[in-house]
Amino acid sequence: LADGVAVLPAPQNLSVHSANMKHLLTWSPVVVPGEIIYYSVEYQGEYEILYLSHLWIPSHWCSSTKGPQCDITDDITATVQYNLRVRATLGSQTSAWSTLEHPFNRNSTILTPPKIKVTKDGFHLVIELEDLGPQFEFYVVYWRNEPGAKEHVQVVKSGGIPVHLETMEPGARYCMKAQTFVKAIERHSAFSQAECIEVQGDAL
Amino acid sequence: RCSPSMDTNPVKESFQGIKGAIQTKDTLKNVTILSNLHSIKPLDMCCVTRELLEFYVERVFKYREKLSLQISRAVSSISNSFLALQRTVQPCKEHNLCPCSEEATDATRNINNNYEELEVQSAVIKSLGELDVFIAWIDKNYHQETSTA
């Protein structure tokens, strides 16, 4: 209470979960039995922090949201530090702002090895990579599964589309693995597990 | 010569969303601020790039109070991308690979003079509206450079 007036508590435990350049701000919900609480999220980038510290910008998707989370991916558009804050609203009551303890930078996102699907189109070796969005490129490494085989590397600019890598020789076994690369943060993921495929027929 | 990899895509995407609105607000159609970029010599590119990034960061992106939320958001995105671009160019200066010739200095001084001849809000709107000129110039000079390197 403040001067006898109920004060809505501010949201607590703000944190950002970021994986593959998708950034989710979460917080502990404010609970008032029988009531629906709405939340507002605002951000300021490093430019605002440095030059316009009074200026906070309403989040694209969460200027008034029910869930104790907010997809801030569309707000985080540069590889710089971002401050984030949340407040709760119940009717005419508004809580104080809660600010993320440490600024968030998207270069800390977790990059997971991409899912890959290896198929053959006749004698053609084909790979399809997980579609992770426009910011992702892929390095695909493939080789013929035999001693001393040379590794080949191919850059694939986007996922979700089958890519023909090579024409296979009958009876041979081919393997491949892939990793993602995000130019915006100059980082790549670990390699996926290798997957192999064999084409029938007599080896030459 | 120093030619860092300049990722201008985020800026282009943000600017595309507000270009019409900004350029419509520009009432001084017969005046330009970014003049003569086409005459900048390759050796002066780094210096002019650095100077213009600073011009926008220091003199243009600060003035947003009178802009709509949609434009303010886009300008925030662009200004933060400019901070990242500044850091991309910074090593060139630190390694003395970003010299400023007299012509380059004159060119950026002219741009600042053009800005100062206008009332601040008009100068801000016009400078924002000419972002496509600056970005096209960067793309032409840096990406053409890296593609022929």
pLDDT in tens, B16-67: 999 999 999 998 888 999 988 888 998 899 999 999 999 999 999 999 877 8
3-class secondary structure, B93: helix
Interface mutation target, options B63, B79, B85, chain A, most CBs of A under 10 Å: B79
Q: Are B32 and B130 in contact (CB under 8 A)?
A: yes
Max Cα–Cα distance, chain A, nearest Å: 89
The pLDDT, as a whole number, for residue B146 is 44
Residue B93 pLDDT class (50, 70, 90 cuts): confident
- Please state, in angstroms and rounded to a whole number, the distance separating the CA atoms of residues A94 and A131: 40
Are A184 and B57 a contacting pair at CB < 8 A? no
Mean pLDDT of B6-22: 92
Residue B92 pLDDT class (50, 70, 90 cuts): confident
Q: What global pTM score does this model have?
A: 0.90
Rounded to 10 degrees, what is the CA torsion of A134, B56, B43, B7? -10
If chain A, 204 residues long, is cut into consecutive pieces of 10 residues, what is the mean pLDDT of each piece? 72 98 98 96 98 96 94 97 97 96 98 96 93 96 93 95 92 95 96 92 58
The pLDDT, as a whole number, for residue B147 is 43
Whether B81 has a pLDDT exceeding 70, the answer reads yes
Rounded to 10 degrees, what is the CA torsion of B140, B144, B145, B149? 180
DSSP state of A199: -
Whether B132 has a pLDDT exceeding 90, the answer reads yes
3-class secondary structure, A164: strand
Are B76 and A48 a contacting pair at CB < 8 A? yes
The pLDDT, as a whole number, for residue B55 is 97
The pLDDT, as a whole number, for residue B35 is 82
Q: Are A107 and A139 in contact (CB under 8 A)?
A: no
In terms of CA atoms, which chain B residue is nearest residue A63?
Answer: B69
- Please state, in angstroms and rounded to a whole number, the distance separating the CA atoms of residues A14 and A7: 20
Dihedral sign of CA atoms B77, B78, B82, B84 in order: positive
Are B77 and A77 a contacting pair at CB < 8 A? yes
